[in-house]
Amino acid sequence: MPQCEMCGAERASLTTTKVEGAELELCDDCKEFGTEVRTQSSSSTSTKYSTSSSGSKSSGFSSSGGSSGGGSSRRRDMFDDMDEIAGDYDERIRGAREGRGLSQEDLADELNEKVSLIRKLERGDILPSDGVRKKLERKLDITLVDGDSTDDSEWSGGGSTTTTLGDVVKRKD
């Protein structure tokens, strides 16, 4: 029997739900914490939304028509509009700085930031905030954002549905 990826409860049916940017298979109790998403099902009895058969608790999504919105649109998520920082941002910053003959101190002075921030960014210890990222991109004439998101394949429905957050998270100990 499948397990809910949030609470671990074993249920006969789970619902694909987007919670803070991640698509999870959740039980009816936990699906209220996110946005229910449409799934492409290979069975002939697929519905517009992946819903349970009970239908007693509805959180704004009903499979019976009557809504005035577009049929194929989904609820917007705040993570849809966010830029994704490139995985090698630290190397890009260091390479561009050294290519211009600047020391970390010089770059920090020109950006009006602390030298420790530049050091941490170049070591890959922290991600740049949007303001610092834009300053670095302007000053060093580089791009720190991935144009095409190649990591989206990890979250697509192509793989097994038994992946949990613990399988994806990389811990720093």
pLDDT digit string, tens, across residues 86-141: 788 888 888 888 998 989 899 899 888 899 998 998 888 888 888 888 888 888 88
Q: Which domains does the chain have, with CATH numbers?
A: 1-55 (no CATH), 89-140 (1.10.260.40)
Contacts for 44-47: CB closer than 8 Å, 24+ residues apart: none
d(CA 1, CA 31): 18
Residue with more model confidence, 132 or 45: 132
Over residues 156-172, the mean pLDDT reads 69
Instruction: Answer yes or no: are the C-beta atoms of 34 and 79 closer than 8 Å.
Output: no
Instruction: Output the CA–CA distances (angstroms, integers) from residue 18 to 75, 114, 126, 142, 150, in the order listed.
Output: 10, 37, 26, 32, 19
Mean pLDDT of 37-41: 65
Is residue 4 within 8 Å of residue 25, measured between CB atoms? yes
